[in-house]
Structure 1
Amino acid sequence: MTHDITPAADGAPEAATGSTRTLLTCGIVAGPLYIVVVVLQMLTRDGFDISRHPASMLSNGDQGWSQIANFAVSGLLFVACAIGLRRVLGPAAGPGGTWGPRLIAVFGAGMLGASAFSADPADGFPPGTPNGTPTTMSWHAAVHLLVAGIAFLALIAACFVFARRFVAAGRTGWAAFSGATGAALLATWSLIFTLQGSRPANVAFALAIALAMAWASLLAAHHRPPTSNSM
């Protein structure tokens, strides 16, 4: 038996459907916005190398405000997306209807936390920072690491929760996409801890983050209710 995961029940009030569409549109925008802003900074900020520096380090330096804003705005958009998903799905909508949106909300909240607590400068970035890994970590960098870890775990779990949901609904393509995205993010995240300093591992992790961001935005697009065609 499969579960119906069609967004927005027929007969839903037009105002409610419209606000839900707006919330899910926030999610559609969030992933591409984050990716584009990071890529633009990669191309324009002196000394930054994605194979050596995580995107979090872009919060440092004179232009660090742009990445702080990127974290904050993208986080708020993903929280709004989670509210929209909750409205569309709900606990009665089959597997993942409750925990899927909650995990997306935790991910968005983690991005907000990352905007409030910045990572430390390291390994030559921003320019003038000594090369190599710092021997000590500031308290705000420790909090950043904690909230980022929670955010990544929530996003990984969300991928698998929605994969299970799509399997139950017989949506094999979406199930495979969701499961593969979660697996890629988990595997590459593990690699950067086991192969510390490995440039290929760092690049793979950055690509997995971009994939997961794209997945979350496509998920929002998939669940956005259709436009009401009233006469």
Structure 2
Amino acid sequence: MDQETRLRVRTTDELLDRSGTPTTRVSRALLGYGIVAGPTYVLVSLAQALTRDGFQLDRHAWSLLSNGALGWIQITNLVLAGLLTIALGIGLHRVLSPGPGATWAPRLIGTYGVSLVAAGAFRADPALGFPAGTPEVGAAVTWPGMLHFAAGGIGFACLIAACLVLARRFSSEGRRGWATFSRSTGVLFLAGFVAMAAGAGSAGINLAFTAVVVLAWAWMSAVAAHLYRRTTRAN
């Protein structure tokens, strides 16, 4: 790490270490919401996937859980995860300035959060026999279903971009491990999303996409926890 990079990292850490101020306590709280967003969303989704009648992890996307009598659970899960992610975006805005990604990383994460709220507001159309009684093929596409798909596409694109933007940020700070983690998550998520769009219904692709969704949430929680620890280092 050269002298310029060390100075940049030290300056950033000094800004983050002012943990005794009310402003920093608020920032820590916002980052804390980002830490719990992923585990909450994943655990609630998996619990439903393993218990809802007719749902198959190797066939059905988690978004289909918004349908049926218990669909309100996944709708609430999406909206809550979205609000927590928006809070993380605000927290990133407060702690990343100055430096690379200080403007765009918070915006991209915040937009991903908005897309999750929209995905909860506009349900995915029933498909592939779920919920029970839904035709395997040929079901009509509704306007809420189209908006759900659009929200997902925009949100996923923002999440991928956020991974790459923060990879550049971490690289500029000399944090190579975090840069590699961020870049790899973005690339793998992009590959999974493209494969899912091209081959939805394939068991292998569905499971692979579920895996990269879990990876992306794990990355987001890890980044939030990393920045949270840096804000409390002075204590």
Q: Which TM-score applies when normalising by structure 1?
A: 0.93
Q: Name the one with the larger helix percent.
A: 2
Q: Of 54, 57, 70, which residue of structure 2 is paired with 1:63? A: 70
Report if the CA contact (8 A) 2:18-2:234 is conserved.
Answer: no
Cα shift readout 1:155-190 (whole Å, capped 9, x = no counterpart): 000000001111111111101100110011000111
> Partner residue of 1:46?
53
2:115 is the alignment partner of 1:110: yes
Q: Give the residue type in structure 1 aligned to 2:134.
A: T
Q: Report if aligned partners of 1:30, 1:74 keep a CA contact under 8 Å in 2.
A: yes
Range moving further from structure 2, 19-28 or 125-134: 125-134
Q: SS of 2:13's equivalent?
A: coil
Q: Paired residue for 2:30?
A: 23
Structure 2 alignment gaps of length 5 or more = none
Q: Is the CA contact 2:19–2:234 (under 8 Å) kept in the aligned structure 1?
A: no
Please show how residues 143-154 of structure 1 align to structure 2 within 5 Å: 143-154=147-158
| 1:52 Cα deviation after fit | 1.2
Q: Is the 8 A contact 1:14 1:228 kept in 2?
A: no
Q: For 1:20, give the aligned amino acid.
A: S
Q: SS state of the match for residue 33, structure 1?
A: helix
Identity percentage of aligned residues: 47
* Alpha carbons 2:41, 2:78 under 8 Å: kept: yes
The yes-or-no answer on 1:37 pairing with 2:41 is no
Residue of structure 1 aligned with 2:161, choices 141, 147, 157: 157
The 3-state SS of whatever aligns with 2:133 is coil
Paired with 1:47 and 1:84, the residues of 2 have a C-alpha distance of 39
Normalised TM-score (structure 2):
0.92
Q: CA deviation at 1:145?
A: 0.4
Q: Aligned-pair RMSD on alpha carbons? A: 1.5
CA distance in 2, matches of 1:194, 1:149: 13
Which segments of 5 or more consecutive residues in structure 1 lack a partner in the other structure? none
Does 1:132 pair with 2:147?
no
